[in-house]
Amino acid sequence: MTIALIILGAIIVYAVITYFYQKRIVQTLTEEEFRAGYRKAQLIDVREPDEYAAGHILGARNIPLSQLRLRMKELRKDQPIYLYCQSGMRSSRAAQMLYRNGYRDLYHLKGGFKMWTGKVKKK
């Protein structure tokens, strides 16, 4: 029983630390806030190519999370980066990866593409 409590406590501590770390490195924006700034930024869809082809925010570039490490040099460090995925999980992970590599002006869409009501382009 004691071991189970220690493991549970460790999981809770890890979750809290991760939550606050995430809040420090990437700013989560509502759709309205995202819409107000994404045209002046690098808009990156971190979903896989098939998801991107099915529909994406007009003006977005597709750099899947699975390729981000290899394609990071395509992104400029002197401009804001607006990230989104389907739900917000992959864009959070992408932001962490970018932050570790010196990118600082990072934003992501709260709720991801599934919450987007703006213009969508399909391939």
Burial status of residue 81 (CB atoms within 10 A of its CB: 0-12, 13-18, 19 or more): buried
How many structural domains is the chain composed of? 1
Burial status of residue 119 (CB atoms within 10 A of its CB: 0-12, 13-18, 19 or more): exposed
With respect to residue 98, please indicate whether it lies within any of the assigned structural domains.
yes
With respect to residue 20, please indicate whether it lies within any of the assigned structural domains.
no
With respect to residue 2, please indicate whether it lies within any of the assigned structural domains.
no
At 15-48, the pLDDT tens digits run 776 665 566 789 999 999 999 999 999 999 999 9
Q: Which domain holds residue 112?
A: 26-121
Question: What does the pLDDT read at residue 6?
Answer: 87
The residues carrying an active-site annotation are: 85
CATH number of 56's domain: 3.40.250.10
At 54-107, the pLDDT tens digits run 999 999 999 999 999 999 999 999 999 999 999 989 999 999 999 999 999 999
With respect to residue 10, please indicate whether it lies within any of the assigned structural domains.
no
With respect to residue 6, please indicate whether it lies within any of the assigned structural domains.
no
